Amino acid sequence: MKLKKTVIALFLGPAVAIYLVIFLYPTLRTFAMSFYDIPSLSSKVAEWTFIGWDNYATLSRSPYFLDSVKNVLGIWAIGGALIFAFAFLFAVILTSDVRGKGFWRSLIFLPNTVSAVVLSVVWLQYVFNSSYGLLTTLFRKLGLTALADIQWTDNEHIYYSMIMAFSFGSIGYFMLILNAGIGRIPTDYYEAATLDGASVWTKFIRITMPLLRDVFRTTLVLWTITAFNFFVWSATFGLDDPHTVTPGYYMYQKVFGKGGSVYLEDSFNVGAGAGVGILITVATIAAAVLIGRLFPKDRLEY
């Protein structure tokens, strides 16, 4: 179809303008900022001092930043294992002959639609509560006093508790994508395997997994993007606890945090905060490329 150039410009203009002003310009500016010493958020460009790679060098020496990197990698690995284990389990179950698939899908996706603040409060104040909480009540009824006495939100446990609570809220989305992927695999493969006497497990390993490689790669990239940008739960569940701080939250504390947060480092400036943003983006792109290499595009057609 052909339209006059003016009409095209009129229809596309606002969206393109938004792309330039809200996405392209800030990305480039953040990149530039990461090479400057910038005393405060409202500093004019004239007040910036070029310092080369110093911000990155500062970050690489900051124990708080390095701990936050460790935290985020742990979230990626542990949370990823939890989410994918459950997402795969439910995705496979919901492609079998169980009844009420629509209901089950909606139910498992439900936590994804709940505000992170609500989910955090419910887990912190109910599930993990040490006097009337779900876990302690349940374990006490079962007579497992050692488990019932665990303080889920103390220094030692809060990181793992956060990953557990966060994963519960994320399984549904990955389950839906995997479920759709499995649904596209032709049923004759499974029928033939069933005739040959293959077990459910064999069918999963020999048919589902290999044919799902493309979908799995996509979901793994999506998870990596989500995990590397982990922020909200550090704020809503971790509540400034240093054990739950990720690079994204570290940046927020440093740049936007009110009244200078828990641990002040004099050397920190807004430019270093911009550096954190750049590092997260570079790490995400590198991970996506690496995942693409590990799981090359499938040549199988079906």
Q: Which of residues 207-236 bind another protein (CB under 8 A)?
A: 215, 218, 225, 228-229, 231-232, 235-236
List residues bridging with 37 in a β-sheet: 49
**Which residues, 31 to 90, sit near another protein by CB under 8 A?**
33, 41-42, 89-90
CA distance 233 to 244: 8
Residue 154, both tokens: 């103390």
Paired tokens of 62? 């900051």
Binding mask 119-148 for another protein (x = CB under 8 A): --xx--xxx---xx-x--x-----------
- Cα distance between the two ends of the chain: 33
Minimum CB distance to another protein, residue 149 (Å): 17
Q: Which of 77, 81, 110, 192 is close enough to bind another protein by CB under 8 A?
A: 110
Find the shortest distance in angstroms from Cβ 291 to another protein.
Answer: 14
**Token pair 């698939």 in the structure block, residue:** 101
Least spacing, CB of residue 141 vs another protein, in Å: 11
The stretch near another protein (CB under 8 A) out of 49-57, 75-83, 175-183, 291-299 is 175-183
Contact 302, 186 (CB under 8 A): yes
Among 113, 145, 194, 199, interactor with another protein by CB under 8 A? 113
Work out which of 51, 56, 82, 109 binds another protein, going by CB under 8 A. 109
Element (H, E) at 49: strand 49-50
Is residue 2 near another protein by the rule CB under 8 A?
A: yes
Q: What gap in Å lies between CA 226 and CA 30, rounded to an integer?
A: 20
Q: How far apart are CA 273 and CA 258, in angstroms?
A: 15
Per-residue tokens: 109: 């996706």
Number of residues that bind another protein (CB under 8 A): 85
Q: How far apart are CA 101 and CA 91, in angstroms?
A: 10
Is 161:152 a contact under the CB 8 Å cutoff?
Answer: yes
Report, in Å, the least distance between residue 290 CB and another protein: 16
Q: Which stretch binds another protein (CB under 8 A): 93-101, 152-160, 202-210, 293-301?
A: 93-101
Residues 236-265 that bind another protein (CB under 8 A): 236, 248, 251-252, 255-256
